[in-house]
Amino acid sequence: MANVQGAADVVIVPRDERRVGALGELATRISRACFEPPHEMRAQIKAALAHAVREQALLSAEQRQPASECYARHVLYADPSGRFTILAIVWAGGQFSPPHAHNTWCGYAVYEGELEETVFRWDTTEMRAEPLRTEVRKSGYSCYAGAGLDQIHRLGNSGASPAISIHVYGVERDRIATHVNRLVDTGATNTKV
Ligand SMILES: [Fe+2]
């Protein structure tokens, strides 16, 4: 006889032998969250990221390396089904993203140091992004954003020492560079890049 009582607890998770340690736990939690309704998925991914950045062993020395020309993106984990990819972004002092919305759901948590985040709103009359406020994001902070123009931001490191954040994007690994950031016009001549 089938175990009807336990049927509701069944979660189909693609097999992946790399899911070990703190990164493995993060990947498993995100994988399970992808089966949840949107509001629950959001809460679970935020919580999973906040939990993961408490683990100092999450990153290797190599995955903490900045790059001189631009913030460095280190792929930590690619979901075998292509549903999401987890990265570490290492921000040297003075490195920032351009203002952008997203073409997919995403989340991040601050792992080391502090980041500066400017939040924008989309002006539907002017068809451009207007800055609303700038916040300091300290180690342990986590957030989630859906796709679209409701959530526009610019993230970076205004300090002198490198800072590191852990990101998850709802795309397969090969689409990180092309299908995540949706660059927006802010009206400034040097920010539409
Ligand atoms: Fe972003």
pLDDT digits (tens, 9 = 90+) for 96-107: 999 999 999 999
pLDDT at 1: 39
Is the pLDDT reported for residue 12 higher than 50? no
Residue corresponding to tokens 């994001």: 137
For the chain, percent of residues with pLDDT exceeding 70? 88
In angstroms, what is the span from residue 1 Cα to ligand 1's centroid?
49
In angstroms, what is the span from residue 184 Cα to ligand 1's centroid?
12
For 63-183, CATH number?
2.60.120.10
- Sign of the torsion angle spanned by Cα atoms 106, 93, 71, 102: positive
In angstroms, what is the span from residue 18 Cα to ligand 1's centroid?
26
Give the angle 53-162-166 at the CA atoms, nearest 5°: 30
Does the predicted model carry a pTM greater than 0.75? yes
* CA–CA distance, 145 with 55 (Å, rounded to integer): 23
**E strand intervals along 31-177:** 72-78, 85-91, 100-102, 106-112, 115-123, 128-137, 142-145, 148-156, 163-169
In angstroms, what is the span from residue 180 Cα to ligand 1's centroid?
8
What confidence tens digit (pLDDT) does each residue in 67-124 have?
988 999 999 999 999 999 999 999 999 999 999 999 999 999 999 999 999 999 999 9
Is the pLDDT reported for residue 11 higher than 60? no
